[in-house]
Structure 1
Amino acid sequence: MYENDEIEIDLSRVFGIVKKHFKPFALIILATSIVAALVTLFLIPKKYTAEAKLIIVQKSNPDSQQISYNDLQTSQKLVNTYSEILKSEAISDDVIQNLKLDQDGIDHTSYLGMVSISSVKDTEVIKISVETKDPKLSANIANEIVSVFRRKIVTIMNIENVTVLNSAKVPEQKSSPSNLKNTLIGFLLGCVIDGCIVVYLLLNDRNIRTEEEMKQIFDYPIIGLIPDMNAGGTE
């Protein structure tokens, strides 16, 4: 009971502080949210992501029109191998050279920073994602990766089993940064700042409000109370 009473007193103080300083707290949250939104809109560079997809189909019998279960299993295993090849310098060097990306200071390390290779779970599909500040460049790099890969994989693996599922299109919408996400982060930051201020004010509050607090601090019995002369009453 005592612990519950103390929690209630603490919570009442917290709510009291929030109520007393509500406007400054609201302004802090509003300010951090606006700043986060403005930084996102004007300071953080916009990036655009273009995607292309390849499908790996490995047939044990090239003359057959049907794909067996073993063919599917083999194709899925090849997906991981092909994903690593897509990340290798054997592909990146040709892409960089063909698009003259080296003139913009893009090397293999930069290439890996822009290009993301992933496989769609339990399928024979490989997704190639390219993120740059230029939507057209993102699409050009993705499509060039597909072109170089399809040409070189015949030599590397001595087989031709790669089909383009879809080519990359020039993205119309930016993929990052997210206005909503960053504004929400600003909002949460404002809440954290407000919380820190509340804790500071609470820890530095030396006012005594109840008889119990008086007893805890001085450890003396209370022999009398002074009534609130401002309280309403009948004459």
Structure 2
Amino acid sequence: MYENDGIEIDLSRIFGIIKKYFKPFVLIILTTSVAAVLITLFLIPKKYTAEAKLIIVQKSNPDSQQISYNDLQTSQKLVNTYSEILRSEAISDEVIHNLNLEIEGIDHSSYLGMVNISSVNNTEVINIKVKTKNPNLSARIANEIVSVFQQKIVTIMNIENVTVLNSAKIPDQKSSPSNVKNTIIGFLLGCLIDSCVIAYLLVNDKNIRTEEEMKQIFNYPIIGLIPDMNTVGGPE
């Protein structure tokens, strides 16, 4: 009971602070949210993602026109190997050279930063995503990676059955930054600032409001109370 009373007192103080400083708290949240939107729109560079897909099947019998279940299983297990090859300098150097990307300061390290290679739900399908500030460049790099990989994989892994599921198209919408995500981050930052202010005011609040608080602080019995003359009526 005593602990419950303490919790109620603390909550009442929190709600009291929120009520007293409600407008400044709302202003803080609005400020951080608007700031996040403005930073997203005008300061963070927009980036565009182009995506291409490959399917690679390694046949156990090259002369056969059919693909067996074992061929599919083997190909799925080798997807990680293909992904590492796509990230290797053997591919990146060729792509950079063919597209003259050295002019834009793109090297192997930059290539790894803009290219994302992944498998599709543990299948033999490989996703190639390229994110740059230029939508045309993203599509060109993605398609060039596919082209170079098809040529290189024949000699690296002795595989010829590489099929392009879809070539990369020029993206018409940015993939980052996200206006909604950053606005939510700004909103949460405002809430965090408000919480810190509330915690500071609670810690520095030295007022004693109830008889129970007096007993907790001084550990002495209360021998008398002074009535609030604003609420207690005087003699008629």
TM-score by length of 1: 0.95
Match for residue 85 of structure 2?
85
For residue 107 of structure 2, what is the amino acid of its counterpart?
D
What one-letter code is carried by the residue in structure 2 that aligns with 1:140? R
In the TM superposition, what is the alpha-carbon distance from 1:10 to its structure 2 partner? 0.8
Match of 2:175 in 1: 175
Letter in 1 for 2:189: L
Alignment match, 1:229: 229
Task: Percent identity, please.
Answer: 81
Cα distance in structure 1, aligned partners of 2:148 and 2:219 = 84
Does 1:55 pair with 2:33?
no
Distance in 2, Cα, partners of 1:220 & 1:106: 75
1:171-192 deviation per Cα after TM superposition (whole angstroms, max 9, x unaligned)? 1111111111111111111111
Deviation, 1:208, is 1.0
- Cα pair distance change 1:75/1:218, threshold 3 Å: closer
Q: Is the 8 A contact 1:115 1:131 kept in 2?
A: yes
Residue aligning to 1:164: 164
In structure 2, distance between residues paired with 1:131 and 1:34: 27
C-alpha separation in 2, matches of 1:216 and 1:116: 61
Shift of 1:231: 2.2
Structure 1, unpaired ranges of 5+: none
Consecutive unaligned residues in structure 2, runs of 5 or more? none
Residue 32 of structure 1 aligns to a residue whose secondary structure is: helix
- Partners of 2:38 and 2:132 in 1: CA distance: 21
Per-residue deviation at 1:44?
A: 0.3
Partner Cα separation in structure 1 for residue 162 and residue 66 of structure 2: 17
Tell me by how many angstroms 1:111 deviates: 0.6
RMSD: 1.6
Query: How far off its partner does 1:169 sit?
Result: 0.4
Task: Give the Cα separation in 2 of the matches to 1:59 and 1:155.
Answer: 15
Cα deviation 1:200-234 (Å, max 9, x = unaligned)? 11111111110111222233332332322222769
Superposition deviation, residue 82 in structure 1: 1.3
State whether structure 2 residue 159 is matched by structure 1 residue 150.
no
Residues 218, 159 of structure 1: CA spacing in aligned structure 2 closer, same or farther, 3 A cutoff? Answer: closer
* CA distance in 2 between partners of 1:24 and 1:145 (Å): 53
| Residues 1:12 and 2:12 aligned together | yes
- Number of residue pairs aligned between Structure 1 and Structure 2: 235
Q: 1:51 to 1:219 in 2, by over 3 A?
A: same
1:3 correspondence with 2:3: yes
What letter is aligned with 2:221?
A: P
Whether 1:213 aligns to 2:190 is no
Aligned partners of 1:46 and 1:133 also within 8 Å: yes
> How many Å separate the matches in 2 of 1:211 and 1:219?
11
Q: How does 1:47-126 map to 2 (within 5 A)?
A: 47-126=47-126
